[in-house]
Amino acid sequence: MGARIAVLVSGGGTNLQALLDDPAVSSSIAVVLSDRPGVRALDRATERGVDTVVVEPAAFADREAYTVAVRDALLERGVEIAVNAGYMRVLTGTFASAFEGRWLNVHPALLPAFPGAHAVADALAWGVKVTGVTVHLVDEEVDHGPIVEQEAIRVRDDDDRDSLEARVHEVEHRLLPAAVRALIEGRLLVEGRTVRVREGT
């Protein structure tokens, strides 16, 4: 059992499933937190015997109050590492400070290109020939922190959002568990914006 991990979700949870299916990661997942009740990701966690918690933004006065509630829910459970896996809420710097250097996000584009919630559609609309997937450490700015892993995906002439998104998901499901393993195992060396990933033993 390694560091206690919380996975933050909002929807179907295919990236969560990739983490649950990775033996080096799954034993460390202590809780799955969602901003919405009834989503498939919560069922995936329950099916694996992982505790779940729902913290809904509507119950709080503002983003800061919501952020504090999410932070406290994780700290109360002894969480050391947070991983966004399709989590569609922007938390404030309060959370970034609590989990500095220990909070990962997966993004469906090659940051700094196409930040935000519609990266696949934005890449298609821009007509790029290459997009990809980024896993990065999260800081107080959106889709901004130091980059841990990236992999490029060629955009085909006949791609639509569904076809491109399917290939993006395939890469996400490999890159995110690999980055989480490296973080758990202390193999991320962060110097400013540069992250070096030491090879595993």
Close Cβ partners of 35 (under 8 Å, ≥ 6 residues apart):
8, 10, 54, 55, 56, 57, 87, 88, 89
Q: Are 67 and 46 in contact (CB under 8 A)?
A: no
Active site residues: 107
Domain ranges, ordered by start, for the chain: 5-189
Under DSSP, is residue 102 helix (H, G, I), strand (E, B) or coil? coil
Q: Would you call 115 helix, strand, or coil by DSSP?
A: coil
The token duo for 172 is 């996400």
Interval 76-94: pLDDT, tens: 999 999 999 999 999 999 9
Instruction: Give pLDDT, residue 114.
Output: 97
Instruction: Count Cβ atoms below 10 Å from residue 50 Cβ, excluding itself.
Output: 19
Task: Give the pLDDT mean for 130-157.
Answer: 95
What residue type is 192 in one-letter code?
A: G
Task: Give the global pTM.
Answer: 0.95
pLDDT, tens digit, 9 for 90 and up, residues 91-110: 999 999 999 999 999 999 99
pLDDT > 90 fraction of the chain, expressed in percent and rounded: 94
Give the strand pairing for 147-154 and 188-191. unpaired
CATH architecture of 5-189: 3-Layer(aba) Sandwich (3.40)
* pLDDT 10s digits, 3-20: 899 999 999 999 999 999
Tallying the residues shown for the chain, one arrives at 201
What is d(CA 16, CA 11) in angstroms, rounded to the nearest whole number?
A: 10
Q: Count CA atoms within 13 Å of residue 24 on its CB side.
A: 12
Q: Is the pLDDT reported for residue 143 higher than 70?
A: yes
